[in-house]
Amino acid sequence: MSVARAERLVNLVLCLLSTRQYLTAERIRGIVPGYADAPSDDAFFRTFERDKTELRELGVPLEVGRNSAFDAIDGYRIARRDYELGDISLEPDETTAVALAVRLWDSPELTGAAHGALLKLRAAGIDVDQQAPTVVESKVRTSEPAFGPLLAAVQARQAVSFDYRRPSPTELRTRTIEPWGVVSWKGRWYVVGHDRDRKAPRCFRLSRVVGDVRAIGRTEAFERPTGINLLDFVASTGGEPPARSTATLWVARNRAAGLRRRAKVIGQRVVDGVEGDDVQLDLGYPDSAVSWIAGFGPDVLVIEPDVLRKAVLERLLAIAGEVAVP
Amino acid sequence: MSTSHDRLPRLLSLVPYLIARPGIPVTEAAADFGVTPRQLRKDLELLWMCGLPGYGPGDLIDLSFEGETITVTYDAGMNRPLRLTGAEATALLVALRALLATPGLADTDAVARAIAKIEAAAGQAEPAGVAVALSAAEAKRTVETRTLVQQAVADGRALRMTYYTASKDEITERTVDPMRVVIVAGRSYLEAWCRRAEGVRMFRMDRIDDVTVLDEPAAPPPTARPTDLSGGLFQPAPDQQEAVLVLDPDARWVAEYYPVTELDELDRGRLRVAMRYADTSWMVRLLLGLGGDVVVEQPAELATRLRARAAEALSRARHLTVT
C-alpha cells in the first residue's frame, strides 16, 4: 500500500468518524486529502470504490444513508459505537490465557486473525506477553488445502461443492453443502453442514476432499442452525461405539510388549516348542483389534473367540499367499 | 512479518495503543506490533500527516518524541481500536474454548473469564462456526498421566518412567528431564531430555505406563532445544527407508494416518504411495495387520520378510491346540 493511499484511508476513517451527517462521495472528494488529485470523475469513483472495499474488509462499519428525504444520493459515515471495540480490561491470569490461545494456531488463516485480535487488544491498553513460557504448548494445524475456502464459506454462509472420496465402499462424487462449521476432532478437520442432495446434515473429512472447493451462489444464503453442537455432531458420526469383548490369546515369552502391557497373564503354554503365556485382554474396536493382533505375527495367537481367530488368520493367509482357511 | 496488507490495521491501532502507554519506548512499541523500529517511525510520520477536516495544525494527530519515547498529545478522535472482525473473534474465542475444554491446560477459571470479557467487548461478532477438541482421543488414564507430568514440568523435577516404544515394540525404564508438554493433532506428548538416549525425545502420554516424580531437579543440558513443530510432528529423517505400497480401499486410511507421498490413483479405488519408515519391525507389524489390503512393491526384502513372518505365524497357529 502506497504512503499516499494509507494516508488517504486513515484520513477517510477519521473524517467519517467525526461526522454525524452522511457525506456524499462528492463531499468526501472535496474534503479528504488525496482524492482531489484524481484526474477525472471516473478515476475518483474507481479509487473511492476500492477504498470502501478495503475498509469493509478490515471490518470498518461504513454506514450508507441520507440525511433527509430531499437528498438525491446516498452518503457515508461511521458510527463510533459500531466502530470501536467495547471497553475491556483483563486480569494478568486472563491475559496469560489469551497469549496461550493466540499461540494455539498453526494455520495460515487463523494465525493471522488471532494476531489481528491481539493487536487490537493491545491497542485497548491490554499488555499481553506472547513470549511467556508455558508448561503446555498446544498447536492446531490446518494443512489441508480445503480448509481456507471452507472456513471462508462458513463465515460468508455460502454454499460450496467439492469432490469427495469415500474409501470404503470406494466412491468419488460431488457433494454440495451449506457449511455450518469446521471442526477439529481427534486431530482431524471436518466440515459439517446441510447436504443439499441428501437433504440432511452430514460431516466430511477435509483430507478426503479431492481438488478445489467451489463456492456456489450468493453469500448469506442460509442460516446456521443454532441448536447444534458441532463437536458433538462430529463425535457422534465418527464411528459406532466400540463393542467391547474379552479375548484369550497366547503370547510368546518376552515378545509383543505392546500387547502385554494391556493384558493379564492367566497361564503358561508351550506351542511348537516355544514357551509363552496365555493372556486375557479387553478389546475395543473389533476391526482394528484384528490388525493389531495380526501385526505381531507368530508372537501372538488367538485362542478365542473363534471369530477373532479366523479373522486374524485370514489376514496372514492373504499375505502368505495360501488359500485354505483352517 | 510486515506486509503492506498489515499496514492499515496497524495504523488504526497505533494511536489508541500509544494513548494507553504514554512515554513508551519506540523499540517496545515496535516489538509489540512485530515491526522494526524504523518501520514504526515511518508509521508515526504518516499518522502525523493525518487528522480531521480543516487539516490545520490543531486538527492533525500530534505526537511528542522525548528521546526514544513517544506520547500522543492529540488523537483526532481515534482513541479506541477498531472492533474485532468476525474472523478475529473466531480465531481467539475458538482457541480459548479449546483450552477451556481440555483439562489441565490452562487456569480454566481465568480462561472462562477471558472468554466472557472478549465476547462482551467483541459485541456483534459472528458466531464461530469453528470448533476444536484438542485432546479428544485421551483416555481418563492418559489425562491423569498428563496432569502429573505437567506438574513436574511446572515444578522443574526429573521423572522416572516406564515407557512403551511402539516403533521397537519394547518397554523400557527411563529417567528424563522434562522440558514441556505438547498437544498436537489430538494427542499429548512429553518433550524431554532422555538420559538413556542422550537426546531430546517426544514421549506419547498414552504410552507412559508408570511415572514417578523424582526429588532431583530437571536438568536438560543447555544444548537441548525444543523441537520445531511448525512442520508437524513427523519429520523425515535421513536414515529412513522408503517403501512403495499399493493400498486397497480398505487400507487407504494408512495414507491419512501416516505421512506418505501419494504417487498414483489406480483403478478400483486403489492408491499407490511412498511411505518412509525408520524401523523395519514396525513396518512389518503394520503391514501384517493390513493383510491382503496392501501390496508391497518395494523394497523386495520387505515383501519377503513379510511373507516369511506370515507363514511362520500360520505354521505356529496349526500347533496351537485349542481346548
Within 10 angstroms of residue B266's Cβ, the number of other Cβ atoms is 12
Sheet containing strand A75-78, strands side by side: A23-24, A75-78, A62-65
pLDDT at position B57: 84
Task: Count how many domains chain B has.
Answer: 4
Decide if pLDDT at B164 tops 90.
yes
Decide if pLDDT at B127 tops 70.
no
In chain A, residues with a C-beta closer than 8 Å to the C-beta of B52 are: 14-15, 18
CB contact under 8 A, B8 and A272: no
pLDDT at position A239: 59
- Same domain, yes or no: B254 and B299: yes
Place of cell 483389534: A289
Q: What's the grid cell of residue A38?
A: 484524481
State the smallest CA–CA distance between residue B319 and chain A in angstroms.
6
B229 part of a folded domain: no
Q: Can you say how many angstroms the Cα of residue B300 is from the centroid of all Cα atoms in its chain?
A: 37
DSSP state at residue A240:
P
- Is the minimum CB–CB distance between A152 and chain B shorter than 8 Å? no
B224 part of a folded domain: no
Decide if pLDDT at B3 tops 80.
no
Per this entry, what is the length of chain A?
A: 326
For residues A56 and A213, give the distance between their C-alpha atoms in angstroms, rounded to a whole number: 25
Tell me how far CA of residue A224 lies from CA of A156, A232, B68, in angstroms.
Answer: 11, 16, 51
In chain B, residues with a C-beta closer than 8 Å to the C-beta of A179 are: 129
pLDDT at position B4: 58
- Same domain, yes or no: A128 and A192: no
B112 part of a folded domain: yes
Which residues 169-188 of A have a C-beta within 8 angstroms of B? Answer: 169-170, 172, 179-188
B258 part of a folded domain: yes
B222 part of a folded domain: no
Q: Torsions phi, psi of B75, nearest 5?
A: -105, 0
Residue A146 DSSP SS3:
coil
In sequence order, what DSSP letters do the residues of A83-129 get, joined into one string? HBPPP----HHHHHHHHHHHHHEE-HHHHHHHHHHHHHHHHTT----
User: Could you tell me which of A63, A82, A81, A64 has the C-alpha nearest to residue A73?
Assistant: A64
B272 part of a folded domain: yes
Residue A65 DSSP SS3:
strand
Tell me how far CA of residue B25 lies from CA of B22, B69, B195, in angstroms.
Answer: 9, 4, 44
- Same domain, yes or no: B197 and B165: yes
What pLDDT digit, counting tens, does each position of B195-246 carry?
Answer: 999 999 999 999 999 999 999 999 999 988 888 877 677 776 777 899 999 9
Test mutation, A138, A208, A277, chain B, max B CBs within 10 A? A138
- Same domain, yes or no: B60 and B92: no
B230 part of a folded domain: no
A107 part of a folded domain: yes
Q: Residue B87: what residue type?
A: A
> Would you say A130 and B126 are in contact if contact means Cβ atoms under 8 Å apart?
no
Decide if pLDDT at B323 tops 60.
no
Give CA torsion, residues B221, B227, B233, B237, to 10 deg.
Answer: -80
The domain boundary, picked from A237, A262, A279, lies at A237
Angle separating helix axes B4-19 and B37-48, nearest 10 degrees: 80
CB contact under 8 A, A292 and B289: yes
Test mutation, A129, A316, A317, A323, chain B, max B CBs within 10 A? A316
CB contact under 8 A, A1 and B7: yes
Q: pTM, whole model, 2 decimals? A: 0.82
CATH of the domain at B277: 3.30.70
Domain span holding position A177 = 149-237
Within 10 angstroms of residue A260's Cβ, the number of other Cβ atoms is 21
> Would you say A286 and A312 are in contact if contact means Cβ atoms under 8 Å apart?
no
> Would you say A308 and A286 are in contact if contact means Cβ atoms under 8 Å apart?
yes
The domain boundary, picked from A237, A266, A299, lies at A237
pLDDT at position B1: 42
Domain span holding position B149 = 140-217
Q: What's the grid cell of residue A169?
A: 465402499
- Same domain, yes or no: A250 and A285: yes
CB contact under 8 A, A137 and B229: yes
A325 part of a folded domain: no
pLDDT at position B137: 66
User: Could you tell me which of A176, A168, A243, A256 has the C-alpha nearest to residue A214?
Assistant: A176
Which sign does the torsion angle of CA B240, B245, B247, B251 carry? negative
The domain boundary, picked from B182, B217, B252, lies at B217
> Would you say B101 and A126 are in contact if contact means Cβ atoms under 8 Å apart?
no
- Is the minimum CB–CB distance between B68 and chain A shorter than 8 Å? no
- Same domain, yes or no: B93 and B63: no
Residue A162 DSSP SS3:
strand
The domain boundary, picked from A237, A264, A285, lies at A237
CATH of the domain at B35: 1.10.10
List chain A residues with pLDDT less than 50: 323-326
Longest dimension (CA), chain B: 101
Q: If DSSP states are collapsed to H, E and C, what string results for chain B? A: CCCHHHHHHHHHHHHHHHHCCCCEEHHHHHHHHCCCHHHHHHHHHHHHCCECCCCCCCCECEEEEECCEEEEEECCCCCCCECCCHHHHHHHHHHHHHHHCCCCCCCHHHHHHHHHHHHHHHCCCCCCCEEECCCCCCCHHHHHHHHHHHHHHHHCEEEEEEEEECCCCEEEEEEEEEEEEEEECCEEEEEEEECCCCEEEEEEHHHEEEEEEEEEECCCCCCCCCCCCCCCCCCCCCCCEEEEEEECHHHCHHHHHCCEEEEEECHHHCEEEEEEECCHHHHHHHHHHHHHHEEEEECHHHHHHHHHHHHHHHHHHHHCCCC
B155 part of a folded domain: yes
- Same domain, yes or no: B67 and B14: yes
CATH of the domain at A189: 2.30.30
CATH of the domain at B172: 2.30.30
pLDDT at position A36: 87
CB contact under 8 A, B232 and A1: no
Q: Residue B70: what residue type?
A: I
What pLDDT digit, counting tens, does each position of B268-316 carry?
Answer: 889 999 999 988 999 999 999 999 899 999 999 999 999 999 999 999 9
CB contact under 8 A, A97 and B96: yes
- Same domain, yes or no: B257 and B204: no
Per-residue b or e along A83-101, where b marks 16 or more CB atoms closer than 10 Å to that residue's CB: bbbbebebeeebbbbbbbb
User: Could you tell me which of A172, A170, A176, A179 has the C-alpha nearest to residue A198?
Assistant: A176
DSSP state at residue A285:
S
Residue A28 backbone zone (phi > 0: left; psi -120 to 50: alpha; other: beta):
alpha
pLDDT at position B313: 95
For residues A156 and B149, give the distance between their C-alpha atoms in angstroms, rounded to a whole number: 42
In chain B, residues with a C-beta closer than 8 Å to the C-beta of A235 are: 133, 136
Q: Which residues contact B280 (CB under 8 A, 6 or more apart)?
A: B241, B302, B305
Task: Count how many domains chain A has.
Answer: 4
For residues B1 and A301, give the distance between their C-alpha atoms in angstroms, rounded to a whole number: 58
Tell me how far CA of residue B32 lies from CA of A115, A121, A129, A228, B279, in angstroms.
Answer: 11, 11, 9, 38, 45
Decide if pLDDT at B322 tops 60.
no
pLDDT at position B216: 94
pLDDT at position A263: 93
What pLDDT digit, counting tens, does each position of B90-122 carry?
Answer: 899 999 998 888 877 778 899 999 999 998 888
Element (H, E) at A30: helix A25-31
Q: Which residues pair with B201 in a beta bridge?
A: B192
Q: Which residue has the higher pLDDT, A287 or B133?
A: B133
Q: What's the grid cell of residue A52?
A: 470502501
- As a whole number of Å, the end-to-end CA separation of chain A is 75
Tell me how far CA of residue A72 lies from CA of A24, A68, A69, B95, in angstroms.
Answer: 10, 9, 8, 47
Element (H, E) at A286: helix A286-295
pLDDT at position A325: 45
A79 part of a folded domain: yes
> Would you say B145 and B208 are in contact if contact means Cβ atoms under 8 Å apart?
yes
State the smallest CA–CA distance between residue A40 and chain B in angstroms.
23
Decide if pLDDT at B6 tops 90.
no
CA angle B248, B250, B256 (to 5 degrees): 90
Decide if pLDDT at B15 tops 70.
yes
In chain B, residues with a C-beta closer than 8 Å to the C-beta of A271 are: 316, 319-320
